[in-house]
Amino acid sequence: MLYVSTRGKTDLFSAAHAITRGLAADGGLFVPQNIPAMRMVDIKAMERKPYTERAVDVLLQYLTDFSEDELRECVNAAYAPEKFGDNPVPLVQVNDNTGVLELWHGPTSAFKDMALQLLPHLLTRSMQKTGETNKVVILVATSGDTGKAALEGFADVPGTQIIVFYPSEGVSDIQKQQMITQAGKNVKVFGIEGNFDDAQRGVKEIFGNTALSDELEKKGYTFSSANSINWGRLVPQIVYYFSAYVDAVKAGKIAAGDPINFVVPTGNFGDILAGYYAKLMGLPIDRLLCASNSNNVLTDFINTGVYDRRREFFKTVSPSMDILVSSNLERLLYSVTEHDAARVADYMKRLNTEGHYEIDSDDLKQIQSQFFGAWVDELETKEAIGRIYNDYHYLMDTHTAVAWRAMEKYRFLTSDETYTVVLSTASPYKFADSVLAALDDAQPQSSNPFELLQKLHADTGTEIPPRMLALENLPVLHSEVIPADKMELAVVKNLV
């Protein structure tokens, strides 16, 4: 399997190259030249396999420059029971035609662990394959979840170093605590005086500073990114769509071969795109429901074909979906235009220069035949958490609630009652303040995040993720807060 750029010339690259580089030299994203097909018998055979072997089956199709044994080693290390428990991605049946796929049983209690636990293993082996001898320095700007998941993934991975920048006043207390207590000889974490955009701009400037990267290249350092545009972050996500499907068959909810729907709480369009690839591979998926919060740029896009980022930015109770530019949409456009790189490059250029673009009506029809877009406001999100808890005793976080409510809107509009899997992307404990408020608006809120965990536990009897509980007593290892214009200096001074 070889890879091309979405804005591309005709050059072909290995999977190892795509993973080592992250972004193509022409600014496009790496995509597989064609999508491999899985036969129904092979999908059915996954039913009897543990998650790690299901992952080997899927990854082998895409990462053909890795041997089966190599992939098995990577996957076994990434999804080890001491990190994810015995079943990394349980499918919980909440009612007759709805299952919730819990993707947050990893070390940081957010679904980004699914990809970021595996990426470091894929990356270090890709480096060996491409002859990269420099140390890879991962730079991350984070609004919360990505930073911690990347830190956990890369901590003490030989041949790598990771530096994370977060807005010092712009992440939740638990998220901050998770990051500033991170152990590991190769990790550094800095708070930024500014917001997420300042942190992101700073990282982009460092990536764009060719004089700096040339100089560091000679000293033995190469910058890379753990951002969701990296193919090595996307490909692990395809696996759990297959896993959910065969678990639904196993549970007797569907027969093998029956089509099902998935609903995905969406931000950067990485998670749902992985579902689209699973569908192209032959997994019987009918509809992919794209759920957004008040930042509803994708709902509008799917409904009208116009992508317009010139709009108000809302801070919501589902902050990991507060995004106006969904980078991975570029890969979908490449697919629906039947690999028309020139057209994709034109759309992306217009997005950059004018802030909006409109796709051809044929491309729109293609997208509408596969996707349904719906958005959910703040009140609806909280209402769904309380109601689903009351009706089914199932506790959801805010992101999952957006997906659930979007599914209800879809069912109401279409009367389609097909069995549907809701992707659950975070533990409710990660957003305990909003979840508690949703369960009981009147209750007084503590400002101590650890009291909130205890309160949610007392109110619902659900288990607090042990690692989150342990944070309270971990020593703070990274207390530095720096001005946004000192980020480059911080990187240069902290290379090890």
Ligand X SMILES: *Cc1c(COP(=O)(O)O)cnc(C)c1O
Minimum CB–partner distance for residue 423 and ligand X (Å): 8
Cβ atoms of 234 and 85 within 8 Å: the answer is: no
The span from the CA of 191 to the CA of 129, in Å, is 35
Minimum CB–partner distance for residue 269 and ligand X (Å): 5
Cβ atoms of 468 and 429 within 8 Å: the answer is: yes
Whichever of 223 and 269 has its CB closer to ligand X, that residue is: 269
The span from the CA of 290 to the CA of 100, in Å, is 15
The span from the CA of 24 to the CA of 10, in Å, is 12
Minimum CB–partner distance for residue 265 and ligand X (Å): 5
Q: What are the beta bridge partners of residue 140? A: 164
Minimum CB–partner distance for residue 271 and ligand X (Å): 4
Helix 378-392 with 432-439: angle, nearest 10 deg: 70
Binding site for ligand X (CB under 6 A): 110-112, 145, 228, 265-271, 320-321, 399, 425-426
Q: What are the beta bridge partners of residue 422? A: 100, 263
Minimum CB–partner distance for residue 145 and ligand X (Å): 4
- Of the candidates 389, 108, 390, 165, the one whose C-alpha atom is nearest the C-alpha of residue 398 is 389
Active-site residue, selected from the candidate residues 44, 83, 112, 188: 112
Q: Residue 291 contacts by C-beta under 8 Å, 6 or more apart in sequence?
A: 263, 264, 265, 266, 374, 375, 376, 402, 403, 405, 406, 407
Minimum CB–partner distance for residue 190 and ligand X (Å): 21
Cβ atoms of 319 and 403 within 8 Å: the answer is: no
Whichever of 19 and 401 has its CB closer to ligand X, that residue is: 401
Minimum CB–partner distance for residue 234 and ligand X (Å): 9
Whichever of 124 and 295 has its CB closer to ligand X, that residue is: 295
Whichever of 162 and 298 has its CB closer to ligand X, that residue is: 298
Task: Tell me whether residue 112 is one of the annotated catalytic residues.
Answer: yes
Q: How far apart, in Å, are the Cα atoms of 238 and each of 4, 266, 292?
A: 19, 15, 20
Minimum CB–partner distance for residue 68 and ligand X (Å): 28
Whichever of 273 and 283 has its CB closer to ligand X, that residue is: 273
Whichever of 363 and 397 has its CB closer to ligand X, that residue is: 397
Whichever of 112 and 455 has its CB closer to ligand X, that residue is: 112
- Of the candidates 396, 146, 408, the one whose C-alpha atom is nearest the C-alpha of residue 291 is 408
Whichever of 53 and 377 has its CB closer to ligand X, that residue is: 377
Minimum CB–partner distance for residue 468 and ligand X (Å): 14
Whichever of 90 and 267 has its CB closer to ligand X, that residue is: 267
Which residues participate in catalysis according to the annotation?
112
